[in-house]
Amino acid sequence: MTVHAAVRYLKPEWKGREERAFIYSKETRHENTSKYTVAIHDARPLVASGELTIEQNGIAFADHPVRVADYADDEAVKSDYAETIVPMLLDATGGKEAFMVGHQVRTEDPKTFLGAYSRYVHCDYPLRRTHERERNILKERGSALADDIENVDYAWFNIWEAIDRPAEQNQLTIIDAATIAPDDFEEYLFTSDPKGGFAAIPLMSPKHRFLYFSKMRPGEAVMFKQLDSRADQPLVCPHTAFYDPAVGDDHVGRRSVEYRALVIF
């Protein structure tokens, strides 16, 4: 099944500029992004046929039995990191170790802009391979690999799941990493502070292939790359929520959780 829906990309006038766009509110999102209607393809058949892989597309899909009763309980969610999420991620990626760095719950009643459904195509991190972020994470976790990070292969992943009920509207769509190019990206600031956090954001390209997993339900997980240090592997999968006109407004709000993890190969 293919859905035609609008997504927001960084406006083309930001291409090649030294300064970064600000996107930290509804107003700045509208100011610095533009809508494009794209075809969004159901990835379930591609998984079933083996056509969609981590190695080629940067995306994996797996069952992940629900063990958390209340996702508003941060400690309960964190307690599931080592028991189920890390083993699932290592099995899907072939990694040797995985370090969880946090999670974000999103609901129909967000408390902040960053806690709301994403309304523009973005990446979770800058695409610079400086090793500093990875070194700091490994040092915090007491890993000896921190001192040799320049010789370590690693990748960052986002793990996304519907919680409480199936996702009917504002579902997640992911760009196939095999269809992006390094010069598709600029950087943007996701806070109002010019010295604050920043990440990568793509500009529109007709080559981008958008994928989604129709009616994701609790107990399913999609894992997708946010940065890979290896030059011969897919680099990143930009992503966003999208409004499906065929579903409309007659639905319960989407609830989801996303985890961030560093995988060592």
Closest CA to 12 of 202, 242, 209, 206: 202
Q: What is the mean pLDDT of residues 105-128?
A: 93
Closest CA to 259 of 109, 132, 105, 136: 105
Task: Supply the pLDDT for residue 211.
Answer: 98
- 109-115 CB contacts, 8 Å cutoff, 24+ apart: 109/253, 113/24, 113/25, 113/26, 114/24, 114/190
Cα distance between residue 244 and residue 225, in whole Å: 24
Q: What is the mean pLDDT of residues 184-212?
A: 96
Q: What domains can be seen in the chain, in order of their start residue?
A: 2-264 (2.60.120)
Per DSSP, helices labelled H in 113-232 are 132-140
Q: Report how far apart, in Å, the C-alpha atoms of 3 and of each of 84, 94, 139, 263 are.
A: 32, 32, 44, 32
Kindly tell me if the per-residue pLDDT of 55 is higher than 90: yes
Percent of the chain residues topping a pLDDT of 70: 100
Q: How confident is the model at residue 24 (pLDDT cuts 50, 70, 90)?
A: very high
Q: Report how far apart, in Å, the C-alpha atoms of 203 and of each of 12, 38, 125, 176 are.
A: 6, 13, 16, 15
Of 1 and 63, the structure prediction assigns the larger pLDDT to 63
Q: Which residues contact 189 (CB under 8 A, 6 or more apart)?
A: 20, 21, 22, 23, 24, 196, 197, 198
Q: What is the mean pLDDT of residues 162-175?
A: 96
Q: How confident is the model at residue 115 (pLDDT cuts 50, 70, 90)?
A: confident
Closest CA to 33 of 217, 203, 230: 203
Kindly tell me if the per-residue pLDDT of 130 is higher than 90: no
Kindly tell me if the per-residue pLDDT of 250 is higher than 90: no
pTM for the whole thing? 0.95
Q: For residues 179 and 207, is the Cβ–Cβ distance under 8 A? A: yes
Cα distance between residue 74 and residue 72, in whole Å: 6
Of 248 and 15, the structure prediction assigns the larger pLDDT to 15
